[in-house]
Every structure is written in C-alpha cells, then in structure tokens.
Amino acid sequence: MTVGAIPLSARPAPSTPQQWWTLTTRMIAPTLANGELATQIIGSIVFTVGFYLPLKNILGAVQPMSSYAQYLTPLIVVQAIFFAAVSAAFRSAIDALQGINRRFRAMPMAALTPLAARMTASIYRCVVALVVSLACGHVIGFRFHGPLWHTVGFIALTLLIGAALALVGDLIGAATRNPEATAPLLLVPQVTLGLASVGLQPVERFPGWIQPFVRDQPLSQFLNSMRALAGDSTPAAPPVTWSVIGPALAWVAGIVVVFTWLHARVAARRP
C-alpha cells in the first residue's frame, strides 16, 4: 500500500473516437473466448442442415427458382443475423443490469457513444453471421448470379437489416435489464416471422386468409429483395427494381427511426 492511490497529474482530455473504439473492442474481444462466435457458427450450420435436408425435396419442387438452395439461403442469412441481434440484446441487458451504463453517464463521454459502440459490435456480429451463413449456402449450392453491384447491394442490405434488428435487440435488452429474457423475447418474432414468410415456400402455398400477412410482413420483403440481388441462373428471381427493394428499405428505415426514438425514451428514464 505504498503506491499512491490518487494520481497527482491533471486529467487528460477524453477523446470520443478513443472512447468509441475502447467500448467496441471490449465487446468484440470476449466473443472469441466466451463462445459467442462459436454459437454463431454452429447456429448457422444447424439451421442450414435442419431446414435444407428435410425440406429440399418437399418444397424444392414447389418453388420457382433453379434450386432450393438458391431459394432458401436468404432465410438462412436472415436467421443468422437474427441470432446476432439476440447476442446484441444479451450484451445490452447485461450492461444495463450491471449498472455500467449508469457509470458511463456520469463520465465525460457523449451520451450516444456507448450505443454507437454497441451498434458497431453488432455490425461485426452481422459480418460474421453473413460470412458463415453464405459459406453454408455455398456448400448446398447457393451462388450469386447478378452483376457485382447486386452482390454488393445484397451485402449492404443484409448489414442494414442486421443493424435494424440489432437496434431492436439492444432496446429489448436495455428496457428489460434481464439477459435471460432477451432470447425468448426475440425468439417469438424470429420463429413466427420466419415460418410465416416466403423464406421456406412461396406465398401461394399458405392458406388464403394468411397470405396478405405472409406477403407484406417485413421479413418477406427482406427475403424478396435479397433474392432479387442474389439473382438466379433462371429468370425466376424477382427483378432488381424499386418496387421490390423499396419496401425492404422502408421497413429498415421505419425500424431505425422508431427504435432510435424508443432508445431515447428508455435512456431518459430514471437512472
């Protein structure tokens, strides 16, 4: 106990980029050791195997595209970024629960820096999810058939969707402050939207009363756009037009606006 507990020198000036990067790496660094990365990889493989193998003969025949792999892979990608959003929700709930957010708010740091760092970590998770799920898709036969800028568009749109979902997950974590509750809360939309979408089978295969929902719900809009951007060896893929891509972008924009507003509301609550 001889070393001084209290530094004598004046405080340095904190820098926002340094704070953002510090908070981002604190979330990315443990993903290698704590199994988050492994879960992401295994999750995508399990999902690919679990849906592709049993369904490729039954549903492969009723979908319009060249192969069921080409039809199914966008759903595998979306499910993978959903898993990334669950991780985002879990981390955000832990931070809210442990009181570290409260501590950050009493430190010389811009109010949005912790959220920006959490979102950056979420984008990293989405990149991992995208790479792993596309690798799984490649194995079963998925290929990009469009020009390069369509492929770039596919990646950009997927990351945008991932960011929007991560924002939702982050809010659920911050609002519930309950890490255990985050996975079930996100599982409900993941499963219901996932199954009642055009991800596994075309909309005509659903009963008439539910078809409007299946066709118009956001996940189906995302999947249509991703199929359009991925293309196909036959002309069966949806065309890359504003009427196909527009609704997906509108959903992403809507989610970002609404949930950013909700984030501000949650942050304004009593510490």
Partner 1 sequence: MSSTDRAVVVDDLRKSFGSVVALRGISFEVGRGEVLGLLGPNGAGKTTTVDILSTLATPDSGTALVAGHNVRTDPAGVRRSIMLTGQQVALDDMLTGRANLVMFGRLQGLKKAEARSRAAELLERFDLADAADRSVKHYSGGMRRRIDIACGLVVRPEVVFLDEPTTGLDPRSRLAIWELVSDFKADGIATLLTTQYLEEADSLSDRIIVIDRGTIIAEGTADSLKERTGGTYCEIVPRDMMDVPAVAAALGALLPGENRAALTDASDRVVMPAPDGANTLIAALNLVSSADIELQDIALRRPSLDEVFLRLTGQEGAAAVDAGALT
- Give me the residues that bind partner 1 (CB under 8 A), please: 1, 3-15, 18-19, 22-23, 26, 29-30, 34, 94, 98-100, 102-109, 270-271
Residue 124 or 206 with smaller CB distance to partner 1: 124
Q: How far is CA 50 from the centre of its chain?
A: 20
Phi, psi of 133 (to 5 degrees): -70, -35
Instruction: Rank residues 100 and 116 by Cβ distance to partner 1 and give the closer one.
Output: 100
Q: In whole angstroms, how close is the CB of 106 to partner 1 at the nearest point?
A: 4
CB of 270 to partner 1, least distance (A): 7
Toward partner 1, which CB reaches closer, 153 or 179? 179
Least distance CB 271 / partner 1 (angstroms): 4
Pick the closest to residue 184 from 123, 93, 115 (CA basis). Answer: 93
Distance of alpha carbon 210 from alpha carbon 208, whole angstroms: 6
Largest CA distance in the chain: 78
If the CB atoms of residues 12 and 184 are measured against partner 1, the closer one turns out to be 12
The answer to whether 72 and 141 have CB atoms below 8 angstroms apart is: no
What are the helix (H) ranges across 141-270?
A: 148-176, 179-195, 211-216, 218-230, 242-267
The nearest distance, CB 19 to partner 1, in angstroms, is 5
